[in-house]
Amino acid sequence: MKSILMTGATGGVGTFLRKEFANRYRLRLSDMRPLTTLGASESFMAGDCASLDDMLRVTEGVDGIIHLGGYSVEGPWETILQSNIIGAYNLYEAARRNGVKRVIFATSNHAMGFYKRTARIDHTPYPRPDGRYGLSKMFGEGVASLYADKYDVSSLCIRIGNAAMQPIDVRRLSIWISPRDLAQLIGIGLEHPDIRFAIVYGASDNARGWWDNTNAQCLGYRPVDRSEDFAAEVLRAHPATTGDAIADAHQGGAFCTAEMVENPAK
């Protein structure tokens, strides 16, 4: 079994990925928070992404990395700077120094949040982050690109929509990804021999999706879950619009409206 480091392992995504990968990889779990209960093929090493020394320690001797660690919503600049921006740099620099050749970077739809919901975007348009969090993910994608081109550390950057057991509102019908679909995509990212640097969307087979995920399909991704199976239930429980016109118009939803200055032109 390959030995895989998973940063941010005590978080929501890490917790369900551990179940998906239990019999497939030897998992070295890492987080700044403690973790005491471990499975048979798991070990734990505490580490803060903001510390290069910590990242050098936790990346030593692994075959690949799933980088989930970081602040996972909009937050204060200093937190985003330390955990996501310096954190992403440290992770890649540590991978390079330790000879780790493959990283899966958990980026976000919020790197593209200011695209309209009427746009169908693939991995090629210029990012339009909807806040400091989205900006930090755009930076992380940039680090991944640099380390692929210059240092031969290859990456699959997965712009995750919303990873959860099921979509919980109307926006998430467009961006949801199930745990098993995300695990499939990460597995492709860890195993595919031809990945150098690629950006894909982390989305299930969503009829209301906004993304052209051909790039993921070309790598062999075949999502098995469909948000439409939950649509009737979601639409019964939630109005079609939220009453926030900016949020409803843009892919990033309420992240776009947050802190926006009053602008009558919008």
Ligand X SMILES: NC(=O)c1ccc[n+]([C@@H]2O[C@H](COP(=O)([O-])OP(=O)(O)OC[C@H]3O[C@@H](n4cnc5c(N)ncnc54)[C@H](O)[C@@H]3O)[C@@H](O)[C@H]2O)c1
Q: Which of the ranges 65-73, 149-157, 184-192, 215-223 carries the binding residues for ligand X, by CB under 6 A? A: 65-73
215 makes contact with ligand X (CB under 6 A):
no
Residue 6's DSSP bridge partners are 29, 66
What is the Cα 149 distance to its own chain's centre? 21
CB 168, min distance to ligand X, A: 11
* Amino acid at site 146: L
Are 65 and 104 in contact by the 8 Å Cβ rule? The answer is: yes
Q: Which of 33, 193, 236, 240 binds ligand X (CB under 6 A)?
A: 33
Q: Is 151 a catalytic residue?
A: no
Figure out which of the listed residues 6, 14, 221, 225 binds ligand X, where binding follows CB under 6 A.
Answer: 14
One residue of 11, 129, 179, 223 binding ligand X per CB under 6 A: 11
Residue of this chain nearest to ligand X (CB atom): 11
Among 4, 31, 85, 171, binds ligand X (CB under 6 A): 31
Looking at the Cβ atoms of 12 and 61, the one nearer to ligand X is: 12
Interface residue with ligand X, options 18, 21, 42, 48 (CB under 6 A) = 48
What is the nearest approach in angstroms of ligand X to the Cβ of residue 109?
6
Binding mask 147-166 for ligand X (x = CB under 6 A): -------------x-xx---
Q: Is 131 in the site for ligand X (CB under 6 A)?
A: no
Outline where DSSP puts E strands in the chain: 3-7, 26-31, 42-46, 64-67, 102-108, 154-160, 162-163, 176-177, 197-202
Rounded to a whole number of angstroms, the minimum distance from the CB of residue 69 to ligand X is 4
Please tell me whether residue 87 binds ligand X under the rule CB under 6 A.
yes
The 3-class SS string of 225-259 reads CCHHHHHHHHHHHCCCCCCCHHHHHECCCHHHHCC
Residues 69 and 6: beta-carbon distance below 8 Å: no
Tokens of 137: 């993910």
Q: Which amino acid is at 103?
A: V
Is residue 77 classed as helix, strand or coil in its secondary structure? helix
For ligand X, what does the binding mask look like between residues 227 and 266, x meaning CB under 6 A? ----------------------------------------
Smaller CB distance to ligand X: residue 83 or 251?
A: 83
- β-bridge partners, 29: 6, 44
Residue 92, token pair as written in the block:
């890649």
- DSSP-assigned letter for residue 103: E
Indicate which residue of 133, 147, 201, 221 is catalytic.
133
CA distance 66 to 55: 13
- Residue whose token pair is 């985003």: 80
Between CA 14 and CA 37 the distance in angstroms is: 14
Would you tell me which residues interact with ligand X (CB under 6 A)? 8, 10-14, 31-33, 48-50, 68-72, 83, 87, 106, 108, 160, 162-163
Catalytic positions:
133
